[in-house]
Structure 1
Amino acid sequence: MIQPASHARRAPLRCLAAIAALLLSMTAGARAEQAFSFDATPGRLPKTVIPVNYAIELRPDLANLTLPGVETVDIEVKEPTTRVTVNAVNTTFGDVIVGDGVQRADVTTDAAAQTATFTFAQPLAAGRHRLRIAFTAEINRFGTGLFVVDYPTKAGTKRLISSKLEPADARRIFPCWDEPAFKATYALSVMIPRNLMAVGNMPVAHEEPVADNLKIVSFAPTPKMSSYLFVLTVGELERVTADSGGVTVGVVTTEDKSGQGRFALDSAVKLLAYYNDYFGVKYPLPKLDLIAVPGGFGGAMENWGGITFFESRLLFDPATNAESAQRGIFGILAHEMAHMWFGDLVTMAWWDNLWLNEGFATWMSTKASEHFHPEWRNWLNGYGAKQFAMTLDARRTSHPIQQPVADHSEAAIAFDAITYNKGQALIRMLENYLGEQAFRDGIRKYMADHAYSNSTTADLWQALEGAAGKTITGVAASFTEQDGVPLIVAETVCDGAAQRLTLRQDRFVIAPLGAVDAAPLPARNWQIPVAAGPVGGKPFGEILLNGSAEVPAGACGDAIKVNLGDIGYYRVEYGLKNRAALLSAFAQMAVDDRLNIVTDSWALVQAGRADPPSHLALLDAIDPGDQRAVWDQVISSFATLDRLARGRDERPVIRAYSRARLRPVFDRLGWGNGGSADDDATLLRASLISTLGDLGDEGVIAEAKRRFAAFLEDPNSLPNALRDSVTHLVGITADRATYDRLLALARGSTATNERLRYYYAAAGARDPELARATLALTLSNELPGTIVSGMIGTVASRGEQPQLAWDFIQANFDALLAKQGPNFRDQFVPGFMTNFTDAGHAAELAAFTPPQSTSGGRLMVARALETIAISAGLQARVLPVIDAWIRAHKP
């Protein structure tokens, strides 16, 4: 049910603008980047005591979820001290002794700082010492530190434990120096039941049975690495392996699922050889395990030698997966394996340079996908990653790629689209600017120079400049050390028969409507590599735009395209004459350039630099036979408009127009012949089915219901490629009987991807009573903890019951926080509130105190408040204009 407009809480736009203006004090500038120096690295721990080696003995109790342990740490004391401070969370301490046991420490803890301090009666002299710490930590029910997963099997529910430590949760397993600059070696022993398998960073060195049907599993010592890369998984597991240049590559799964790891295993063998060659430094560990975890956390983690994956992100089952799922599996696998070099071998010194890990791994993943699977066209079809980053980067609450990070709560929220997607886009632009070979030579030098150590962005620029013989620091730093998106204003001017192109840079900004009282955003200047040239032709030559420029541009009237190939990280606004020429030549453009024109056109509308009718006229010019990437962008903009119009009078008109534009595309593709081929047409078909159903296409909804009914009688009747889309539409229109059937399908499956398909479909039900049933389900032990937040978010978004879900969150916040952990408080709640677009809910979020307890939470609240204000502005400015244009220009 859509909440009627008369019941929506609305407030003047100036109130939203005032809320957004309050965010100014929370933004911070970037610092000038210097080469790595351990002593100068930011962090909270003193650098007077350094760990060299950890020998860790753990005795996990899977029944009581406790983690007793003892560790012996070889430390280097740089100057005499009576105090040793480490990180620890929810840990109780036994004896802490140094050396031969004569000196015992007094232990004090600081829960807010997540530290424990050991104070000795006599100073520890400078030099080497051995510290022995007895402790008991906790096994968590949420996916950080060492966590428990209860998962269904044909033999009943079983339990395993696994770890997820980035950015700062090794401290939840054992006391440690839990900052990336404190690299050390780790030797782990774990006592577990004999029927279980343990997987760590390194191969098992020794396994010994002990009393009470237990065994001690000891792993070989690791190379020097940061604490967040430590891994431990224990359960009823099985492993299949293959060799890649002397390295044992394995896929580890729960019982009877190892066969589903064959695609990942084969891909990993190829990727390891490819990366060995590209980076010029061979993978240094003797084994690399890919560990499928059926719950706990939703992504993947690049633990050195033992990468953990949420099960559905790694395993491929042709009985339940669409063939196209292999694209996502390969992509996330390529990303995490790239981290074995960018992140694990060479680690950023502090979280302010997280992009050195994530931006590069994201770029390398797409590069590897293009190499092994060019048919997937990953740069083209992955365009949305850059678009999302640019949307966030155009706001007041954006941050530089190299962002100040004060503590663990800010480190946790640094894993965002600026870090990943803008970082990836910048690297692609720089590779294109330097040349592929020179760029690779620079990466090889960087890896060789900083192996087993830490680095900063400045170290990378030095390596690239040394290899390429071309200055890059000024170009790169203008994108990494300041926030914001460049805007290039491009105009053509005729001089007789000749034409000249003028380029002028500005700052592209998306601001809340009416935010005139806010201080203006500071001006920016970038050094921008610009590719400009005629449609269908080659760039005029190298243009490094630093302010403004003017270049010859062919004959008068030629259509000149800026950002040829869509490789640059900038927006383009064309003058009227050149824009008209480009629209006339639209069909002759390469698909990358057509897509770039469409995305920039929509962005200019969002920024208030273009009228909505100009964008709608462009959409009318797109051929129904155009490629998936172009239509995916159209679908995205229609979905945004539909969301903004929820509960407003413009919605029926906008929905009818959207259906009219998309239906010819779908009619061209049809429902398919029952196959599940991995091609763009199949993926576009599935997207159109979901979108048209969301937009109220009665024919598509009816056919989806018919096909689902046939599927219940004969599962082979519905191709895997359509199951998500069909089930989604059945879910949003579900009655009680259908809702119960979806839950029964989820409960009856042991395949994670299937369970998620049906649970999420049920959560999308738009009947308020069914939404309440879903929300109640999130408090039970039935759902994997991994999807609880997602289910609540689905009730609000797909189910269109945001108020119902918000009331539920507030009423049950403590219980949900206990199940979900700190990320629920600091990240999920602010993100959830962007389902609303009014000042009343913005004020509720601003007054909701739990996220305000950490600096990371406060930053997330600030970003969410700005998102709400921007959405309100778009509603007021764009929707009435679009409504009027559609009524006057019916398709």
Structure 2
Amino acid sequence: MRCGPARPAFALALALTLAAVASCRSRPPAPEAPTAPGPAPTGAAVPDALPPPTPPSGWRLPAGVAPTAYRLALAVDPAADHFTGEVEIELAIAAPTRVIWLHAAALTIASASIVAGGATQPATIVDDAAHERIGVVVPTPLAAGPATVSLAYRGEVTDDDAVGVFRQEVEGRTYLFTQFQANYARRAAPCFDEPGWKTPWLVEVTAPAGLVVLGNTAAVRTELVDGRQVVGFAPTAPLPSYLVALAVGPFELVDVGPVGQAAVPTRIATPVGRAAEAAAAARFTPRAVAALEAYLGRPLPLTKLDLVAAPTLFGAMEHPGLVTFAAEILLEDPARPSFAGRRQLRQTVAHELAHQWFGNLVTPAWWDDLWLSEALASWLGERTARAVEGHDDALLDALTARERALAADARADAQPLRRRLVGGLDVDASFDATTYDKGAAILTMLERHLGASRFQGALGAYLAAHADGHARADDLVAALTAVDANAGATLAGFLDRPGAPTVAVELACDDQPAAVATVTSADPTRWTLPLCVRFPDGRAGWGEACGWLIDGAARLPLPSCPAWLVANPDGRGYFRVSYAPPLDAALRTHLTDVAIADRLTRALDLAAQVRAGVAPPDAVAPWIDGLLAQGARHDHYGAVELARVLADHVGPAERKRWQRWVRARFAGIAMRAGLRGRTDDTAAALTVRAHLLELVGVDGAEPGIGRLARARVEAWLRDGAAATDDRARLLPAAVAGAPSGLQARLAETLAVTGDREARAVLLDGLSRLRGAADRAANRALYLTGAVEPVDGLGLVTGGLGTDVDAETWRDLTAHYDAIAARLSTFARGELVAAAAARCSSEAAAEVEAFFTPRAAAEPRLAVELAPTLVAIRACAEERARIVPALATVLGR
């Protein structure tokens, strides 16, 4: 049920309890709070005859007690390093109990009590810090039925990590935010911090007067008390704890106006002085909402919408009514527009708006189905961005997203869509390509086969059945099954198995010509897949035959026996395709007749198959030559991706021959593509130009491109005239060869540059310097604190996986303590992840030996260590297969 207005006694008690903080203006001393729930609060002690209850096993809260409403009051000040709060949680108790278990972390409990049956009992606290829980214990058992637990407490505001309640400072002004996904609402209030509890929240915030205070819903009451403002918000719709949000600071508010069918009032909140940079987002948002509502047939499920730009953030977060973004994503300087930045803005805003239906209106019942909301939002967000603004290269975006997912699925530690998560850090580790890109690619595959209208109907039925509630993967399977049983079976086949199938295709040219397809992956009969083939048709140019691959096999009848055949047209299927050798040769011979999308799909599949050892390394060379002969940008992209399979494993012995081989094939194409952007550039042109310049300028060491790139970069460092997109493309080629003095000039420019995009480009350039003196200067620059701790990590890790891998690893481990000291406990895992660039069994042993004892003390290091070791060992195995074949390939 929805909770009513806050009770006067609650607000008054909060005001009295927090009086000291309410008058605070300067930064107070750090609170003496433990890093886990604190000591037992004041109140009646549990009688000696009743021992304290034993904490439940695992991370989950026990069944039997459910929240039905929250009333939360927080007193915050961006200048303070702590906050205080009171929370009242209305409960439904299924069976008599003396203890209510709640999640809580880094909170000091001041008092606790439980009201039930008209009686109030003071409570004590049982601390289960290992699982971030507390037990609220009363002397007399609570009867089954309604009850209310009340707690007053103190918590920490963090400066280092964007989790819980955190703050960020920019240009002398401090802003406070919250980020509760996945397990961090417990750092702001004791609560049932699991997505399965979806409950109305009534929130009140006390903050310094003059600051903007934002919440999930509109402010309905603002009062001044002792010089501070007390802001009360309207009750929320039922929300899980991870979607509750606040933002407090000196924001500038840009009125977007009403959006959507319900005329939802919409604003953009920016840091001071950046309101003008919200114009692009303000133009896009109403159109994106309209497109989403038109597709889903449902209005935006909000009463107000604020898009909030945080100075620095991991990306974006879809809180209902209060969507937070990294400022570099949401805001665009009209004086320095970036093609790539504008695309990121559109795609990210559309993704977060799609979450208002998928994730917020319909919420996964547990984190094992996180993919359900992220995949649907990724798929629908990309579709919306494309529909609203157009997209000059949807093909390349779709295929590169599919490649990210397939690459993750090819790893030895690949995860299924539906993971068996128990809580804790394993939830954070699930925000990856499998969760986002794999699910979206499977949805794309099903939409193509079912048709847009039938697929749209299935999603509409899914939303209608679970609005304002929860859903599991099986619910989406059921919605698809209602449209086509094979579609439901396809999705079901991917839920609990990692990996992607490979479909082997051959032509049967007998009395009944057909494309014969079989799954060659493990346990092939468990797969149901939609399958189409495209072939030449003299009357219509191309013909297609489609059907379902059931029990691992399919035979698709053809009108005749074609000269060539492509399986998986446009790369929309989530599987690899391998062709019988005669069919592969015929396809390569007729590339001019094959669609661009199908040529690129084949190139990407072949690159992956060579890496996996199921296709020989020398297979890439004829395909590179064939693609380059076609001349389209997508062909160039595919050829570069195939070349990269070899480039990643070229050592000093083959370097000169490799450089000549690359220059002979790619240098002319790179020069014709140009070094600087043009006004008519497409997304494909920008992406392919960057790939070509790096392959030819860095791997190929082409002197002409290197000289031109250095001249352009020197001009930028001198007068700052080049566009950001050009800087990013030119720096790798300019830095190759480590020209004398470049490190100092890049560092000097970095020191006076505030623009985050430009700083990112400069840091990337610095991280590519390989000389011993340059590496030492980079390390000193990092340790002085002149660069952002995470953004600048490349300064000390950039040489890993390169010719100076051993030296970089030696320097990193020698200075590890000083480097790690610059990073929060949350961010130190990035140091482990950086080691995944290494590529030998010896390197794996070194990484394991160095980080294993440290991971025992810091669990976040352990989260990254296992996948890092998998990546290093996989690379070593790949190198052992490819290096012996390089001489044959380079002899061509």
TM-score normalised by the chain length of structure 2: 0.87
Tell me the equivalent position of 1:833.
Answer: 835
Question: Does 2:384 align with 1:368?
Answer: yes
Distance 1:605 1:101, change over 3 A: same
Distance 1:786 1:313, change over 3 A: farther
Q: Secondary structure at the match of 1:541?
A: strand
Cα offset, 1:123, TM superposition: 1.5
- The superposition leaves residues 266-288 of structure 1 with CA deviations (integer Å, 9 ceiling, x where unpaired) of 11111111112222221121222
Tell me the equivalent position of 1:655.
Answer: 659
Work out which of the residue numbers 469, 485, 493 in structure 1 matches 2:500: 485
User: Is the contact between residue 288 and residue 385 of structure 2 (CA under 8 Å) also seen in structure 1?
Assistant: no
Distance 1:317 1:636, change over 3 A: farther
Cα offset, 1:881, TM superposition: 0.8
Q: Secondary structure at the match of 1:641?
A: helix
Letter in 2 for 1:103: Q
Tell me the equivalent position of 2:148.
Answer: 130
Distance 1:682 1:417, change over 3 A: closer
Moved more, 101-110 or 566-575: 101-110
Tell me the equivalent position of 2:604.
Answer: 599
Letter in 2 for 1:83: V
Q: Structure 2: any 5+ residue segments left out of the alignment?
A: 1-57
- The superposition leaves residues 351-398 of structure 1 with CA deviations (integer Å, 9 ceiling, x where unpaired) of 111110111111112211332244322243331221122122123311
Provide the rounded CA distance (Å) in 2 between the counterparts of 1:703 and 1:406.
Answer: 54
Cα offset, 1:765, TM superposition: 2.5
Q: Secondary structure at the match of 2:443?
A: helix
Distance 1:482 1:310, change over 3 A: same
Tell me the equivalent position of 2:888.
Answer: 884
- The superposition leaves residues 784-840 of structure 1 with CA deviations (integer Å, 9 ceiling, x where unpaired) of 455255655545468955753575367435873773333533xx3442221111222
Provide the rounded CA distance (Å) in 1 between the counterparts of 2:811 and 2:64.
Answer: 49
Provide the rounded CA distance (Å) in 2 between the counterparts of 1:370 and 1:628.
Answer: 20
Q: How many residue pairs are counted as aligned between the two chains? A: 823
Letter in 2 for 1:161: L
Tell me the equivalent position of 1:475.
Answer: 490
Q: Secondary structure at the match of 2:413?
A: coil
Work out which of the residue numbers 540, 548, 551 in structure 2 matches 1:546: 551
Tell me the equivalent position of 1:168.
Answer: 183
Provide the rounded CA distance (Å) in 2 between the counterparts of 1:818 and 1:703.
Answer: 37
Question: Does 2:630 align with 1:616?
Answer: no
Distance 1:611 1:640, change over 3 A: closer
Question: Does 2:589 align with 1:584?
Answer: yes
Moved more, 704-713 or 625-634: 625-634
Distance 1:276 1:622, change over 3 A: same
Letter in 1 for 2:285: A
Tell me the equivalent position of 2:49.
Answer: none
Provide the rounded CA distance (Å) in 2 between the counterparts of 1:792 and 1:310.
Answer: 25
Question: Does 2:758 align with 1:754?
Answer: yes
**RCO higher in structure (CA 8 A, sep ≥6):** 1
Tell me the equivalent position of 1:259.
Answer: 276
- The superposition leaves residues 841-868 of structure 1 with CA deviations (integer Å, 9 ceiling, x where unpaired) of 2123333224456888656433322221
- The superposition leaves residues 621-650 of structure 1 with CA deviations (integer Å, 9 ceiling, x where unpaired) of 1136644344334334434533333x5422
Provide the rounded CA distance (Å) in 2 between the counterparts of 1:792 and 1:117.
Answer: 44
Q: Secondary structure at the match of 2:279?
A: helix
Provide the rounded CA distance (Å) in 2 between the counterparts of 1:171 and 1:818.
Answer: 26
- The superposition leaves residues 627-677 of structure 1 with CA deviations (integer Å, 9 ceiling, x where unpaired) of 4344334334434533333x5422333333233322222222223576475
Provide the rounded CA distance (Å) in 2 between the counterparts of 1:423 and 1:855.
Answer: 28
- The superposition leaves residues 275-319 of structure 1 with CA deviations (integer Å, 9 ceiling, x where unpaired) of 122222211212222111112x32111111111111111111243
Distance 1:788 1:759, change over 3 A: closer
Letter in 1 for 2:837: N
Moved more, 774-783 or 329-338: 774-783
Tell me the equivalent position of 2:72.
Answer: 56
- The superposition leaves residues 32-54 of structure 1 with CA deviations (integer Å, 9 ceiling, x where unpaired) of xxxxxxxxxx9611122222222
Work out which of the residue numbers 428, 442, 445 in structure 2 matches 1:426: 442
Distance 1:760 1:603, change over 3 A: closer
- The superposition leaves residues 549-605 of structure 1 with CA deviations (integer Å, 9 ceiling, x where unpaired) of 333334445201111121111111111211111111112211110111111111221
Provide the rounded CA distance (Å) in 2 between the counterparts of 1:733 and 1:151.
Answer: 38
Q: Secondary structure at the match of 2:828?
A: helix
User: Is the contact between residue 763 and residue 792 of structure 2 (CA under 8 Å) also seen in structure 1?
Assistant: no
Provide the rounded CA distance (Å) in 1 between the counterparts of 2:121 and 2:627.
Answer: 77
Letter in 2 for 1:328: Q
Provide the rounded CA distance (Å) in 2 between the counterparts of 1:114 and 1:373.
Answer: 45
User: Is the contact between residue 650 and residue 880 of structure 1 (CA under 8 Å) also seen in structure 2?
Assistant: no
Letter in 2 for 1:843: A
Provide the rounded CA distance (Å) in 1 between the counterparts of 2:381 and 2:545.
Answer: 31
User: Is the contact between residue 113 and residue 123 of structure 2 (CA under 8 Å) also seen in structure 1?
Assistant: yes
Provide the rounded CA distance (Å) in 2 between the counterparts of 1:853 and 1:187.
Answer: 39
Letter in 1 for 2:148: R
Tell me the equivalent position of 1:804.
Answer: 808
Q: Secondary structure at the match of 1:188?
A: strand
Cα offset, 1:457, TM superposition: 0.8
Cα offset, 1:263, TM superposition: 1.1
Letter in 1 for 2:532: A
- The superposition leaves residues 139-189 of structure 1 with CA deviations (integer Å, 9 ceiling, x where unpaired) of 122333235454443xxx332222222111111222111110011122222
User: Is the contact between residue 287 and residue 305 of structure 1 (CA under 8 Å) also seen in structure 2?
Assistant: yes
Work out which of the residue numbers 406, 413, 428 in structure 1 matches 2:422: 406
Tell me the equivalent position of 2:293.
Answer: 276
- The superposition leaves residues 204-253 of structure 1 with CA deviations (integer Å, 9 ceiling, x where unpaired) of 22222333x53222222211111111222222211112221311222211
Aligned residue runs from structure 1 range 99-498, under 5 A: 99=115, 102-146=120-164, 148-153=166-171, 157-211=172-226, 213-242=227-256, 243-245=258-260, 246-295=263-312, 297-466=313-482, 468=483, 470-495=485-510
RMSD between superposed Cα atoms in Å = 2.7
Tell me the equivalent position of 2:530.
Answer: 529
Q: Secondary structure at the match of 1:70?
A: strand
Question: Does 2:666 align with 1:665?
Answer: no
Work out which of the residue numbers 509, 515, 520 in structure 2 matches 1:501: 515
Moved more, 57-66 or 217-226: 57-66
Provide the rounded CA distance (Å) in 1 between the counterparts of 2:315 and 2:147.
Answer: 39
Tell me the equivalent position of 2:648.
Answer: 643
User: Is the contact between residue 644 and residue 871 of structure 1 (CA under 8 Å) also seen in structure 2?
Assistant: no
Q: Secondary structure at the match of 1:653?
A: helix
Moved more, 846-855 or 130-139: 846-855
User: Is the contact between residue 731 and residue 739 of structure 1 (CA under 8 Å) also seen in structure 2?
Assistant: no
Work out which of the residue numbers 629, 633, 639 in structure 2 matches 1:634: 639
Distance 1:755 1:269, change over 3 A: same
Distance 1:881 1:798, change over 3 A: closer
Q: Secondary structure at the match of 1:432?
A: helix
TM-score normalised by the chain length of structure 1: 0.87
Distance 1:421 1:626, change over 3 A: farther
Q: Structure 1: any 5+ residue segments left out of the alignment?
A: 1-41, 508-520
User: Is the contact between residue 145 and residue 173 of structure 1 (CA under 8 Å) also seen in structure 2?
Assistant: no
Distance 1:778 1:709, change over 3 A: closer
Distance 1:771 1:218, change over 3 A: farther
Letter in 1 for 2:301: P
Moved more, 836-845 or 580-589: 836-845
Distance 1:682 1:385, change over 3 A: closer
User: Is the contact between residue 488 and residue 572 of structure 1 (CA under 8 Å) also seen in structure 2?
Assistant: yes
Tell me the equivalent position of 2:47.
Answer: none
Distance 1:648 1:546, change over 3 A: farther
Q: Secondary structure at the match of 1:485?
A: coil
- The superposition leaves residues 12-57 of structure 1 with CA deviations (integer Å, 9 ceiling, x where unpaired) of xxxxxxxxxxxxxxxxxxxxxxxxxxxxxx9611122222222222
Provide the rounded CA distance (Å) in 2 between the counterparts of 1:790 and 1:183.
Answer: 41
